[in-house]
Chains A and B, each alone.
Chain A
Amino acid sequence: MANKILTIKNLTKTYGNNIVFQNIDLSINEGDTVVIIGPSGTGKSTLLRCINLLTKPNGGQIWLDDEEITSKEVNEDNVRQHIGMVFQNFLLFNHLTALENVKLGLVKVKKMDKTAAEAKTFQELERVGLVDRAHHFPGQLSGGQQQRVAIARALAMDPRIMLFDEPTSALDPELIGEVLEVMRKLSLAGMTMLVVTHEMGFAREVADRIVFMEKGSIVEEGSPEDLFNRPKFQRTREFLWKITELYGKKE
């Protein structure tokens, strides 16, 4: 039985009377890549933000390994460094070079000394193929390169799990490939990943499990094979049909 890294039970988030999602149950095994798909406004991004404690859920619990991170006694800053997050709009620190973006957390959060932090930084930049851009500022990098730096920045903290919130949605089509490639390699290397995306090709090829969310709840989940070829629910079928219609039917 594989080791569970993330366990979510009964998670609910509301804003006033508006329910973002309700009674979400989800668990992720070590080394697995789980992809969440579903229409916009379904609460996928909010779910990721809740896992990273950037937004407070109204009810339910989340465990990272054996620790309940939704408990009041938890030190949030401590939890967050173990959960890597990659945002749709990259959110690099604009006044720092690629190198400094990655290094900052190592020095300030992990309290590593400068030399060790720098060595680790180059290792992470190597992983995303950007060593030659180490001294460039975000404003001097393409969107794809910025997102790869953002991935390196999250990876540098040696997280237990990486969350990706539509990492390619803000990119020009020709730049999407390089980011997906980095993510694919990461998944193959055994990183535990939870990915919200509309890239069905990626979901099909890389995911161990796909979760279809709609209107604040999980409609169904299963292997890519099952979900794409034998969806159980009409809603899943309709969504997949719409998406393939939109993005083309290759693979």
Chain B
Amino acid sequence: MSDWLNLLIRFFDDFLVGAGVTLELTAIGLVMGFLLGLGLALAKVYGAKPLCWFATAYIELFRGTPLLVQLFLIYYGLPSLGITLSQTLSAYLALGLNSAAYQAEYLRGAILAIGNTQMTAGRAIGLSRWQTILHIILPQALRLAIPSWSNEPILLLKSTAVVFLIAVQDLMAKAKRAATTTYNPIGSYLAVAVVYLVMVFAVNALLKWLERKARIPGFEMEGKRGSF
């Protein structure tokens, strides 16, 4: 136990830097995935046929293949097409493109749940289709999406661990380094597991706060605790 504590103290700064990189990867992947995912969800629900097909193909492709394969294709594959990206940029891109596919499905489900009647109501007062989507459908759909979408930041945070395989210095890479220097893999990986756990708890708290903040009286998912 004291060995383990010593290891944690010795590598604490290193882990902290790694955790910072991990959080950065998560945040950028999440924002990129959200913007792209929102576009894909809108294309799938409201887009013309070709746009809808494209969105569907994209989503199936990125959900149907491992993130690690996507990462390697971007980092090792793209240079053969003349596009060479840095390790960090490749990691951002792989995480963002991958997350977009999942986020698109959360958002699409929420948009469908709002239904066509709100669109009718918006159009009836003279709002255009896009105005209705922007001012009526999305504000409600995004709120409705929060509980299920909350999985994505947490899953993404843990998925970032694969980037150490292209030598991005994230938390996982730091763990590997600690393991090889100290010959104590169990202690090292246990230590970063704790750091991951702390980060997930923090993200979770943030999401709970977001859900509370976005709440509209009388407009929420049915079946709150204690209502049955």
Q: Which A residues have a C-beta under 8 Å from some C-beta of B?
A: 52, 54, 77-78, 80-82, 85, 87, 89, 91-95, 104-105, 108-109, 137-140, 153-154, 157
B216 pairs with A94, CB closer than 8 A: yes
Report B-chain residues with C-beta under 8 Å of the C-beta of A78: 126
B218 pairs with A140, CB closer than 8 A: yes
Report B-chain residues with C-beta under 8 Å of the C-beta of A94: 118, 140, 216, 218-219
Chain A's closest residue to B139 (CB) is: A95
Shortest 8 CB-CB contacts between residues of A and residues of B: A139-B218, A81-B126, A91-B121, A105-B125, A109-B126, A85-B124, A94-B219, A80-B126
B216 pairs with A108, CB closer than 8 A: no
In Å, the complex CA distance between A213 and B211 comes to 49
- Would you call B123 an interface residue if the criterion is a C-beta within 8 Å of the partner chain's C-beta atoms? yes
Chain A's closest residue to B140 (CB) is: A95
A104 pairs with B135, CB closer than 8 A: yes
* Cβ-defined partner of A77 (8 Å) among B127, B139, B217: B127
In Å, the complex CA distance between A81 and B127 comes to 8
B123-156 interface mask toward A, CB cutoff 8 Å, 1 = contact, 0 = none?
1111110010001100110010000000000000
CB < 8 Å A-B pair total = 73
Given A81-B126, A140-B218, verify A108-B135 contact (CB < 8 Å).
yes
Q: Which B residues have a C-beta under 8 Å from some C-beta of A?
A: 117-118, 120-128, 131, 135-136, 139-140, 143, 216-219
Chain A's closest residue to B121 (CB) is: A91
Chain A's closest residue to B220 (CB) is: A139
B117 pairs with A89, CB closer than 8 A: yes
Given A108-B135, A109-B126, verify A92-B121 contact (CB < 8 Å).
yes
Report A-chain residues with C-beta under 8 Å of the C-beta of B131: 108-109
Report B-chain residues with C-beta under 8 Å of the C-beta of A91: 117-118, 120-121, 124
In Å, the complex CA distance between A157 and B219 comes to 26
Report A-chain residues with C-beta under 8 Å of the C-beta of B143: 95
A93 pairs with B218, CB closer than 8 A: no
* Cβ-defined partner of B219 (8 Å) among A52, A95, A109: A95
Report B-chain residues with C-beta under 8 Å of the C-beta of A104: 125, 127, 135
In Å, the complex CA distance between A45 and B135 comes to 26
B124 pairs with A80, CB closer than 8 A: yes
Given A137-B217, A138-B219, verify A87-B121 contact (CB < 8 Å).
yes
A153 pairs with B117, CB closer than 8 A: no
